[in-house]
Amino acid sequence: MSTPMLFRPTTDADLDRVTAVTVDEPVGWIDADRYLEELKEGMYRPEWTWIAEDGERVVARALWWGQASSEHPVALDCLYVDPSAADRAAVAAALVTAGLRAFAERGAPRPPLYNLTLPTDWRADPAAVAALAWRHEAALAAGLTDEVERLRLEWTPDAGLPASGGRLTFTEGSDEDFLDVFRRIAVGSLDGETRRNLALMGAEATAREEVDFYLGCPGERSWWRLARTPDGRVAGLALPSATPYNRNVGYLGVVPELRGHGYVDEILAEITRVQAAAGAGLITATTDTDNAPMAAAFARAGYRVAQTRMIYSAPEPAPAAFPAPAS
């Protein structure tokens, strides 16, 4: 009688077996050097690293990542199942489900998303399509059923600085000022996550979550700017920011009543100039493939598409229904 496959988090004793895993499919993955470096920094942790064992053999590996200060993991960074497995999707789904269940039992407020990186031309590459297929099936089976395709873009100095139209000025502001603008620009946004949060939580909570998120990023609060028209009206906001790896665009937006006037180009140009002036040799950005106007603005500013990412996340619970007031 065969022994059932075991799904479990790792311990220090598993380190050699964890780092021995290699992925030869055309998807983003975490190699031994990066894993070990970020393990020291607390961005990968043994309890966030899960394996599937068939006897003494590691059949699958899932690496969840978080910031060094994170109490719970933020994202699944790398999912691998040995090609010899009879059903790679089923093994992967069981491994991810086991990890998500354990994180929930430890108090994680929401399941970490799954971030899968693909080449920009992945649809024309049968190997990339195949690599995505079983991972896609596994993500859905594990309950990560909200799917968004995002572009990762990059600006480097050889692209040149985007020109400023000179129609906007950029000023500092208080957290409450930025909260108000975040609240306004959420309305009518084409960004998938913003739209989901707006439908679930409303504009106020969505704005507060965005402000809190960017306050917690490695970028400096002093970089934030309000964009204003010549008569002093707020046109939008510019939030240069950073990740543990790169300087990035962070967040930008235009208030609904001033959209369609090309202000997005000026705000993006300002963010790019701020980051370049600080010595950034690489500025990264992301946008949903459905957000065609934002993707076009990045192209005009000299940002090139470097990767495609498939983001799988658990659907947000429906808002609580409140009883109607008594008549």
Task: Look up residue 254 and give its DSSP letter.
Answer: E
19 near 13, Cβ under 8 Å? no
Measured CA distances, 24 to 27, 29, 79 (Å): 8, 9, 12
Mean predicted confidence (pLDDT) in 99-122: 96
Rg (CA), the chain: 22
Both tokens of 103, joined, read 């994180």
239 near 248, Cβ under 8 Å? no
Mean predicted confidence (pLDDT) in 15-38: 97
| Reported confidence tier of residue 298, pLDDT bands at 50, 70, 90 | very high
Mean predicted confidence (pLDDT) in 269-292: 94
Cα(253)–Cα(61) distance, integer angstroms: 39
Whether 58 shows a pLDDT value over 90: the answer reads yes
Cα(134)–Cα(129) distance, integer angstroms: 9
Residue 50 confidence (pLDDT): 98
DSSP string, 75-86: EEEEEEE-TTSS
Tell which residue, 220, 207, 209, has the closest CA to residue 177: 207
Look up tokens 């990890």; give the residue: 99
Spell out the residues 6+ positions from residue 166 whose beta carbon is closer than 8 angstroms to its own: 266
Express each pLDDT in 192-238 by its tens digit: 778 777 777 788 888 898 999 899 888 899 999 999 999 999 999 99
Helix (H, G, I), strand (E, B) or coil at 65: strand
Q: Where are the alpha helices (DSSP H) in the chain?
A: 15-19, 32-40, 88-105, 126-141, 175-186, 192-201, 203-215, 263-277, 292-300
Whether 75 shows a pLDDT value over 50: the answer reads yes
Express each pLDDT in 242-266 by its tens digit: 988 899 999 999 999 999 999 999 9
Cα(157)–Cα(24) distance, integer angstroms: 32
Whether 80 shows a pLDDT value over 50: the answer reads yes
Residue 63 confidence (pLDDT): 98
Express each pLDDT in 155-184 by its tens digit: 999 999 998 889 999 999 999 999 999 999
Task: Look up residue 106 and give its DSSP letter.
Answer: T
Both tokens of 100, joined, read 């998500």
